[in-house]
């Protein structure tokens, strides 16, 4: 019997949370509901979810702070839910480490599709160990980006990185010295699963640069008015 993937739903409106839970259980997910930030932080190590659906406006500790504290310890995928639809709110959520952002009200089918999409990107393929010859990885001095087992090794240390950051880094590093516009990167990395603006790319590039500094042999370069490239030197 397949093990059900677990979703932690964090929303202070229990009616909405119960509805979300119903839709997800119909898709064979296991769910837990908590109604505030403190309860969410306490429940995570106990429930060990595969993904967190996180409302922003929570009593006590808000969703932004919950996201910040989770990201400090873990790369569990997080999808933020909020009635706030301004670009600033979306960018802030992404800067803090969220993998996606869904505006309320939302269509149940879209919500379920986004959950599945994020989980697909995060799941480690079973073939990673069985068929190392098929590994998707790129190697540079002091940097290994492995898309097969979703790992990044930088300066000899494993770097915790959400799926979208890793996929963006892998995409750029797999095509060194090629310039990609923000629109091209949105299409390649987020595709139809994500509806957002090009600021999303800027946010993820910023987070990559915070974790991986410029190297004498390579770096992520901004091409003003165009986009970004993974620049290498001989």
**Cα-Cα-Cα-Cα dihedral sign, residues 24, 26, 29, 31:** positive
Q: What pLDDT, in 10s, does the model give residues 72-116? A: 888 889 999 888 767 777 788 888 888 888 888 888 898 999 899
Residue 73: CA count within 13 A, CB half-sphere:
9
Are residues 35 and 17 in contact, defined by beta-carbon separation less than 8 angstroms? yes
Are residues 203 and 94 in contact, defined by beta-carbon separation less than 8 angstroms? yes
Q: What pLDDT, in 10s, does the model give residues 166-221? A: 999 999 999 999 999 988 898 888 775 555 567 888 989 999 999 999 999 999 99
For residue 126, what pLDDT is reported? 39
Domains of the chain and CATH, by start: 6-122 (3.40.50.2300), 127-232 (1.10.10.10)
What lies within 8 Å, CB to CB, of 164 at 6+ separation is 99, 121, 189, 190, 204
Higher-confidence position of 190 and 28: 28
Q: What is the 3-state secondary structure (H, E, C) of 90-119?
A: HHHHHHCCCCEEEECCCCHHHHHHHHHHHH
Q: Check whether 66 has a pLDDT greater than 60.
A: yes
**Could you report how far apart the first and last alpha carbons of the chain are, in Å?**
52
């Amino acid at each position: 019997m397949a093990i059900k993937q677990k979703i932690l739903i964090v929303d202070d409106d229990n009616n909405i949370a119960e509805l979300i839970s119903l839709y997800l259980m119909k898709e064979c997910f296991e769910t837990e509901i908590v109604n505030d930030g403190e309860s969410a932080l306490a429940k995570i190590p106990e429930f060990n979810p595969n993904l967190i659906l996180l409302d922003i406006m929570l009593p006590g500790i808000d969703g932004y702070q919950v996201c910040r504290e989770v990201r400090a310890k873990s790369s569990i995928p997080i999808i933020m839910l909020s009635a706030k639809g301004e670009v600033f709110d979306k960018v802030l959520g992404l800067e803090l480490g969220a993998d996606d952002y869904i505006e309320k009200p939302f269509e149940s089918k879209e919500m379920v599709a986004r959950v599945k999409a994020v989980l697909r990107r995060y799941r480690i393929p079973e073939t990673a160990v069985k068929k190392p010859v098929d590994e998707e990885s790129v190697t540079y001095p002091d940097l290994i980006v492995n898309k097969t087992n979703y790992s990044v090794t930088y300066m000899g240390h494993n770097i915790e990185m959400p799926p979208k950051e890793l996929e963006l880094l892998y995409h750029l590093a797999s095509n060194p010295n090629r310039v990609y516009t923000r629109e091209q990167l949105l299409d390649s990395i987020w595709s139809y699963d994500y509806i957002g603006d090009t600021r999303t790319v800027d946010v993820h590039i910023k987070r990559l640069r915070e974790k991986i500094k410029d190297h004498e042999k390579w770096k992520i370069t901004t091409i003003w008015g165009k986009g970004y490239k993974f620049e290498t030197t001989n």
